[in-house]
Structure 1
Amino acid sequence: MKKAIILSIIGLIIVVGVLAGIKALQIRAMMAQGAKFVMPPEIVTSAPVQSDTWESTLSAVGTLEAVQGVVVTAEMTGKVEHIAFEAGKRVAAGDLLVQQDVSVEKAQLKAAEAMAELARINFERSKTLLPEHSISQSDYDNALAKLTEAQSQIDNIQALIAKKTIRAPFAGRLGIRQINLGQVINDGQAIVSLQSLGPIFVNFLLPQQQLAKLRNGLKVRLRSDALPGQTLNGEITAIDPKVDAATRNIRVQALVPNPKEQLRGGMFVNLTLVLPQAEQVLTIPATAVLYAPYSDSVFVIEEKKNAAGKPAGKAVRQQFVTLGEKRGDFISVKSGLKAGESIVSTGAFKLRNGQGVIVDNKLAPEFKLAPQPAEG
């Protein structure tokens, strides 16, 4: 009985050993086959590393401000007798806006004019009699003083009438009316906003480190959400001589044409300041970059050679790069690439280092420095 058990155990060990050997041979064969396996070439699009000249720019967010803007107010207390403007309309300098009640002043003016006329007649008589020594010099001086006083009284009343005749101080566009006909308005009370929107100012801040690059006349480009797809051009007109002690920023002002008055004071805009110095850069399509926390990289397309040193198709080499500014569909490369090298422009995410590729640019996208969105 014991002998049978021992023989069974030995037989089982032999069977297990044979199976293990067969499995080991299978695993070795699979490993050898995997070592010889070559990934099939991937179809990709390519783009050259280009040397380009980019204008040097600074970006900022600006606030628009009217070249001239004021809230027209009353200088004197009085009842609104006539409103001569329409809200939102354009007015010229000197146009009548509001006429307050001046009936009392007009009556006073008539009386003053009558007194002035009497004073003038007395003065003319005194001027005739003085050479004949019919009146004294003091009587003549008194007649002249009364004429001057009467004339100044007329000027004073006319000034009061002018203050109650409210006119536009400059040409511009009116805002919303804040008074009503027949209302008694007090001195300093707001009547309507008046803004000159022909050209318009844009104010923006730049770090003090950029001060040496700034000067009047530099070009600026504006974009606003209120004007999608449009770019407006202007130039710097003033640089504040003082740097803000809290932020270490310097305030800059530019003047931008606004012929259609589409820009309004208080709006914010995205601003690009164009510096006179151009910058030489290497550019690649932004879609070619594999972004990663440790380092960004691209795949460079190179000729692959066989064991005999002869061309055997194309393969890719992963190259880490240092990136710079992005403009449109392109991004600048500070280091890692050379001008003229060919890189994978799309589909880089599916590649690995050393993989064979087939370049097919039939469906390659068109990369632009200033792409425009397609119209819907």
Structure 2
Amino acid sequence: MSRSRQAVKVGLIAISIGVAGLYIGKPALFSKPVPFLSSIGLTLWPAETSEVAVQGSGNKQQGKKGGGKRGFGGGGNQEILARARNVTTGVTDTFVRAIGTGRAAKMTDLYPEASGRIQELPHKAGTRVSKGDIVLRLDDAEEKLAVNRAKLALKDAEEQVERYEKLMTSQTISTVQMQNALLATNQARLDLDKASIDLDRRLVKAPFDGVLGIMDVEIGDYVTQSSRITGLDDRSSILVEFVVPERFANKVKRGDKVELRTEAMPGRIFSGELTAMENRVNSESRTLKVQATVDNPDDLLRSGIAFDARVQLEGDEWPSVPSIALKWDRSGPHIWLAEGGEALRTDVIVIERSADRVLIEGEVEPGDIVITESVRDLRPGTKVQLSPEPGFTLTQPEGNKPPLVSETQTSEGKAEGERKGKGRGKGKNKPADAEQTQQGEPVKSSGSRSGASRDDANQSSS
């Protein structure tokens, strides 16, 4: 019993090895289909790929002869409905952002010009004062006495000069005595001026219109020339100082518009302009200090507030297309142009993108017709029937014929297209290329515009 089982196992193994040899080795004995295996539907070695391809090609040719237009055999000249717009010119939104600190257009700290005890403080903190208003008065009894003494001395000197003038007519006094009297009069005037200045220095006055800050002193305090009294700010306008990188040193200029935002007034945007620039770049930080001025008529802004400053610069011009016209695939961004009634793929580089437009760089010029939407995927050379986007009109670029709306290719045109397109296997050429060929000029083709030189030129793009 055990021997019969071993014989069965050996037989099964031999059959398996034999079948595997038939599939792998394909010996000459079975180069043709085996009738027995064919009768049960088993084909060990299918026909070669080339033979299948030839047979399939023959079937397609027979289908064409039979007049059938199914599958890929028909629809070669079918037009695709598409919407389009003209390429326009856009300007990049270039700006510089920086954090700056604001200060009043005029601001100063008030100090007394003499030492003494405070006798009067006429104004409180937050009071708006005018130029020349008294902010502080020191005790001035001695200075008033000095002024009165100087006035008396001046009066006496002037009376002495009058007496000498009368005596000069009778030559009772000499000329030297008269000159000494005049000199004494001038000296008395100078003494009076000095006494008046000393008296005026007992006062602290506002040097310009502004708002007083908190007083650092009280009535009765003894102050010196180094004692701060208070601060005075003219907040009719605010100066905001900030720095910009040195690469923008030649791009910013006086008069540029500046947008200012601050957390002290959330949601508010203050408009100002650059009014001053440093005359050199800081060699350590590689920055340029600039100053912007913003009006503050409602007195909402204060000195010391931090601002987020944004300086608008002059942008560069680039072709602009609608955002919906930009397509992407594994090769990168591209758009579809319409030239001569056919779709033309153009690879581009995105310069700047916003919600409704894209600035691009590539083989595209303002005025070209760019396809925004189509009912089917586009391929290079696909015929398109264009309609403008709602609210827009299409303008034909100079040198291009109108977009193909309805055109049937004649047999003569087909033959000519096949002759001209034989080298690329497309059977079609652009009218502009044909014209250049007839004139003997070389036809230039760009990889990004030809649509046929890329590996994925036959892939669809939405």
Whether these two folds match at TM > 0.5 is yes
Aligned partner of 2:202 among 160, 164, 169: 164
Aligned 8 A contact 1:89 1:174 in 2: yes
Aligned partner of 2:90 among 53, 57, 62: 53
1:134-213 superposed matches below 5 A: 134-213=172-251
Query: 1:275, CA displacement in angstroms?
Result: 2.3
Q: 1:132 to 1:242 in 2, by over 3 A?
A: farther
Aligned partner of 1:86 among 113, 124, 129: 124
Identity %: 26
Query: 1:55, CA displacement in angstroms?
Result: 5.8
Aligned partner of 1:129 among 143, 164, 167: 167
Letter in 2 for 1:228: P
| Rounded Cα–Cα distance in structure 2 between residues aligned with 1:161 and 1:242 | 45
| Rounded Cα–Cα distance in structure 2 between residues aligned with 1:223 and 1:137 | 77
1:216 and 2:239 correspond: no
Aligned 8 A contact 1:57 1:272 in 2: no
| Rounded Cα–Cα distance in structure 2 between residues aligned with 1:117 and 1:229 | 69
Letter in 2 for 1:196: D
Give the structure 2 partner of residue 305 of structure 1.
Answer: none
Query: 1:129, CA displacement in angstroms?
Result: 2.1
Query: 1:59, CA displacement in angstroms?
Result: 2.1
Q: 1:50 to 1:98 in 2, by over 3 A?
A: farther
Structure 2 gap segments, 5+ residues each: 10-84, 336-346, 374-462
Aligned partner of 1:233 among 271, 278, 285: 271
Q: 1:85 to 1:142 in 2, by over 3 A?
A: same
| Rounded Cα–Cα distance in structure 1 between residues aligned with 2:243 and 2:357 | 26
Root-mean-square deviation (CA), in Å? 4.0
1:262 and 2:283 correspond: no
1:274-289 superposed matches below 5 A: 274-277=312-315, 279-280=317-318, 282=320
Give the structure 2 partner of residue 352 of structure 1.
Answer: none
Query: 1:243, CA displacement in angstroms?
Result: 0.9
| Rounded Cα–Cα distance in structure 2 between residues aligned with 1:187 and 1:283 | 69
Give the structure 2 partner of residue 358 of structure 1.
Answer: none
Q: 1:85 to 1:325 in 2, by over 3 A?
A: farther
Query: 1:53, CA displacement in angstroms?
Result: 3.4
- Listed one character per residue, the Cα deviations across residues 233-269 of structure 1 (whole Å, up to 9, x for unaligned) are 1222122111101012111112211111222222221
Q: 1:247 to 1:323 in 2, by over 3 A?
A: farther
Query: 1:178, CA displacement in angstroms?
Result: 0.6
| Rounded Cα–Cα distance in structure 1 between residues aligned with 2:121 and 2:230 | 11
Give the structure 2 partner of residue 356 of structure 1.
Answer: none
| Rounded Cα–Cα distance in structure 2 between residues aligned with 1:261 and 1:278 | 38
1:96 and 2:125 correspond: no
Aligned 8 A contact 2:321 2:370 in 1: no
TM-score normalized with structure 1 length? 0.64
| Rounded Cα–Cα distance in structure 2 between residues aligned with 1:331 and 1:104 | 79
| Rounded Cα–Cα distance in structure 1 between residues aligned with 2:121 and 2:305 | 30
Letter in 1 for 2:261: R
Aligned partner of 1:109 among 129, 143, 147: 147
Aligned 8 A contact 1:174 1:192 in 2: yes
| Rounded Cα–Cα distance in structure 1 between residues aligned with 2:195 and 2:321 | 74
| Rounded Cα–Cα distance in structure 2 between residues aligned with 1:162 and 1:289 | 79
Q: 1:205 to 1:154 in 2, by over 3 A?
A: same
| Rounded Cα–Cα distance in structure 2 between residues aligned with 1:81 and 1:176 | 18
Aligned 8 A contact 1:324 1:333 in 2: yes
Q: 1:185 to 1:49 in 2, by over 3 A?
A: farther
Aligned 8 A contact 1:323 1:331 in 2: no
- For these two proteins, the number of residue pairs brought into alignment is 291
1:106 counterpart SS class: helix
| Rounded Cα–Cα distance in structure 2 between residues aligned with 1:323 and 1:234 | 32
Structure 1 gap segments, 5+ residues each: 10-47, 301-319, 344-376
| Rounded Cα–Cα distance in structure 1 between residues aligned with 2:87 and 2:300 | 39
Q: 1:251 to 1:55 in 2, by over 3 A?
A: same
Worse-superposed segment, 208-217 or 273-282: 273-282
| Rounded Cα–Cα distance in structure 1 between residues aligned with 2:201 and 2:350 | 65
Query: 1:192, CA displacement in angstroms?
Result: 0.5
Asked which structure has the greater RCO (Cα within 8 Å, sep 6+), the reply is: 1
Larger Rg: 2
- Listed one character per residue, the Cα deviations across residues 101-146 of structure 1 (whole Å, up to 9, x for unaligned) are 1011112211221121111111121223223312111111111111
TM-score normalized with structure 2 length? 0.53
Q: 1:118 to 1:219 in 2, by over 3 A?
A: same
Aligned 8 A contact 1:60 1:205 in 2: no
Letter in 1 for 2:144: K
1:190 counterpart SS class: coil
Letter in 2 for 1:241: N
Q: 1:276 to 1:321 in 2, by over 3 A?
A: closer
Q: 1:173 to 1:323 in 2, by over 3 A?
A: farther
1:157 counterpart SS class: helix
2:249 counterpart SS class: helix
Query: 1:77, CA displacement in angstroms?
Result: 0.5
